[in-house]
Every structure is written in structure tokens, then in C-alpha cells.
Structure 1
Amino acid sequence: MDQQEFGQYIYNLRKKKKMSIRMLEDLSGVSNSYISQIENGIRRPSPDVLKKLYAPLDISYVELMVGAGHWSEDELLEAFNENEVFKEQVDLEEFLNKNNITFKGVIITDHDKKLIKFYLETLCSDRTKED
């Protein structure tokens, strides 16, 4: 999408969340004038600015990077296919034990992690490792 379309996209995401530009400024730390310039197609946001916007807009960082033209979908797919990290199996229990896990910008507490582990144990209790 071009700069104008991306600006409209950001505007629509913000409106969908029922946020004013000032609210998005408060949540993201990006100035309201910069946000306005993005939405009006005057300015293309840097990757650093997109990192500040993705959580308040409830959208993935990757989607914003593609939309803003920093990554093409083909480049992203190629990187994903070539990266062995994405092909590895991930142990969720090990992953949950790591610090600073968030979901849609909200920090997952130790209590949250215990609840998630309990749910996963219940879900997988009747399965074997081969399934």
C-alpha cells in the first residue's frame, strides 16, 4: 500500500479502537502531530515509531512494517522460510518461564502463567507425546 493508503489504514485502526489522536499519543508516546502526519499520508513512520504504535492499535508489528513498506510480503515470507528458528519446535512451558511476556501489550504475570500452564496441562492430559 502507498503512503496515503497506509495513513488511512492507521486512521481506521485508531477509529476502530475509538481512540482520539491524543489518546493514541498518550498510549504510544508518539506525538499527536506525527500521528496526524502519518494518517494524512504526509509522513512514512520509521520502524521505531511502528514499535510504539502496534500495541495500542492492537495490530502486529510485522503487519505494520509490511503496510508501511519497510518489508515486502515476499521478503517476509523468504526470511521466514530461511530462518531455522521459525522451524524449531517450541516448548511452551519453557517459553512461559521467560520474563517479560506480553499479550496485546499487557504483561503476563506469574499468576497468569500458572493459569496458562494449568489450562495447557488440562488440554494435553489425555494425549501422548507422539500425538
Structure 2
Amino acid sequence: MELTGDQFLKIRRIYRLSQKDVADLTGVSEAFICMVENGKRKLTPKVSTRLADKLDLNPAKVISLLEFYAQTEVIK
């Protein structure tokens, strides 16, 4: 499953995870997470898979989460 940096950021906010939390879950640095969210790097397939496994994500769930984000004021 491929996510854009913006989608990644929205999902992180929905789950109320910090960049450090996601870095720890996926085994990458906080700096990498920041670069992904700012569009300077892309999520690698390996990191995407780890994130999907840890958060139990699938394409349908991602769509639902992004729709929820669009309709809700998620606290940043």
C-alpha cells in the first residue's frame, strides 16, 4: 500500500501518534518521518508495510480514515 506524505500525516494525526511514536513503530528516524510528511522523501515499501501491519491498515480502512479526517477537525 502506497501512501503520500499528506495521507501519512493525516493517518498519524487520527491515531494521535507523534513522529517519534511512528519512527519507533516502523524502525526509522524521526527525521525520516518529518521528511515524508513534508514531501521531501517517499515512504519506502518496507516502511509502508511495517506501518500497515502495526496499525492494521488496508486500502479500505485508509480510505475510511481519510474520509473521516476530511469531515472532522483533527487536533494537530
Q: How many residues align?
A: 59
Instruction: Give the deviation of 1:37 after TM superposition.
Output: 0.8
| Structure 1 residue ranges without an equivalent (≥5) | 65-131
Q: TM-score, normalised by structure 2?
A: 0.63
The answer for the alignment partner of 1:16 in structure 2 is 14
**What CA distance in whole angstroms lies between the structure 2 residues aligned with 1:58 and 1:36?**
22
2:26 aligns with one of 25, 28, 33: 28
User: RCO higher in 1 or 2 (8 Å CA, sep ≥ 6)?
Assistant: 2
Question: Does 13-22 or 51-60 show the bigger shift?
Answer: 51-60
**What CA distance in whole angstroms lies between the structure 1 residues aligned with 2:46 and 2:56?**
16
Give the 4+ runs in structure 1 shifted more than 2 A: 55-58
| Structure 2 residue ranges without an equivalent (≥5) | 63-76
Q: Which one-letter code corresponds to 1:19 in the other structure? A: L
Higher share of residues assigned helix: 2
Q: Which has the larger radius of gyration?
A: 1
60 and 43 in structure 1: CA distance in 2 versus 1, 3 angstrom threshold: same
Q: TM-score, normalised by structure 1?
A: 0.39
Instruction: Give the deviation of 1:27 after TM superposition.
Output: 1.6
Instruction: Give the deviation of 1:28 after TM superposition.
Output: 1.7
After the TM superposition, which residues 24-103 of structure 1 pair with which residues of structure 2 at under 5 Å, given as runs?
A: 24-60=22-58
